[in-house]
Amino acid sequence: MSDDELGDLFRLDGRVAIVTGASRGIGAATAVGLAECGADVVIGARDADALDGVAAAVAERGRRAVAVPGDLSTRDALARLVDAALDDLGRLDIVVNNIGGALPRPFLDTSEKAFEAAFHFNVTTAFDLTQLATPPLLATGGGAVVNIASVAGQFAERGFAAYGTAKAALIHLTRILAQDLAPHIRVNAVCPGSIATPALDIVLQTPELAAEMIARTPLGRLGTPRDIAAAVVYLASPAAAYVTGQVLGVDGGIRGSTLDLGIADYDPAGPGSTREDDHP
């Protein structure tokens, strides 16, 4: 096999992809990366102006983009992405479930509402969009789903009860859906580490914190959205035709949080204590 033939396996000509959370960061880089490899894309997020900028970048690469602004935490909004793919671009081949996130916080400061919101935003949305997309994916003969999880779903650290649990659930959902949807639809996940996206701006603006994150990363740098986009392109392309149910770490080698969150031990005599000597 020649190098050119191997390179062709990464091409996505004639395919149509949906990318959620595509207005910035990993989602925007993924949409543009898929377009560079030949795909047309439907992009969704809240920020309509930012989506228009991503759509323009896709057009510069000779591909079509349909921007669908809206709150993607609802099933109806996710259904509009599928409708746009079919109505405006004629088919659907690839789904990238990228929306998600939750701030770390101490366990006793994590409300039930925050815990459930993290699960919904990171897991239920991926479930919903994948379910909505399955019939049109099957109609094209099969396709690929790529879930953007997190290395936080693979390590145990203080402060990650909501986010870490949600991403761990997304990882396991990936493996289960790979079984449910085989042999025609492949389902895989990417687990980013510390990626220099706008979501980290508040941290990266503090040189000491940025240096700490880099020092705790074996490869000695933060990841870029382009690093994640490259992994998504691989998993969505024919190059990964024999890959399903897998979790690809793109994390610089980290195996824990790259920031010390400073969450102290809980005091047994503090609020909520039930020690006998606390009571008369």
Catalytic (active site) residue 234: no
Q: For 36-59, what is each residue's pLDDT tens digit?
A: 999 999 999 999 999 999 999 999
Q: Is 268 within the bounds of a domain?
A: no
pLDDT at residue 58 in the model: 98
What is the percent of the chain with per-residue pLDDT over 70, rounded to a whole number?
95
Q: Is 150 within the bounds of a domain?
A: yes
Indicate the length of the chain as a whole number: 280
pLDDT at residue 80 in the model: 98
Q: Is 100 within the bounds of a domain?
A: yes
Burial 63-91 (b: 16+ CB within 10 A, else e): bebbbbbbebeeeebbebbbebbeeebee
Q: Is 277 within the bounds of a domain?
A: no
Helix (H) / strand (E) element for 241: namely: none
Burial of 278: CB neighbours in 10 Å, binned 0-12, 13-18, 19+: exposed
Q: Is 268 helix (H, G, I), strand (E, B) or coil?
A: coil
Average pLDDT, the chain: 93
Q: Give the pLDDT mean for 76-96.
A: 98
pTM comes to: 0.93
Do residues 151 and 160 make contact, with C-beta atoms less than 8 angstroms apart? no
Please tell me the number of Cα atoms within 13 Å of 153 on its side-chain side.
28
Q: Which residue has the tokens 């925007």?
A: 28
CATH number of domain containing 165: 3.40.50.720
Q: Is 278 within the bounds of a domain?
A: no
Q: Is 199 within the bounds of a domain?
A: yes
Count of domains for the chain:
1
Distance of CA 108 to the CA centre of its chain: 27
Q: Is 259 within the bounds of a domain?
A: no
**Catalytic residue (choose from 163, 234, 242, 266):** 163
The domain containing residue 24 runs over which residues? 12-249
Q: For 165-189, what is each residue's pLDDT tens digit?
A: 999 999 999 999 999 999 999 999 9
Band of the pLDDT at 5, cuts 50, 70, 90?
confident
Q: Is 5 within the bounds of a domain?
A: no
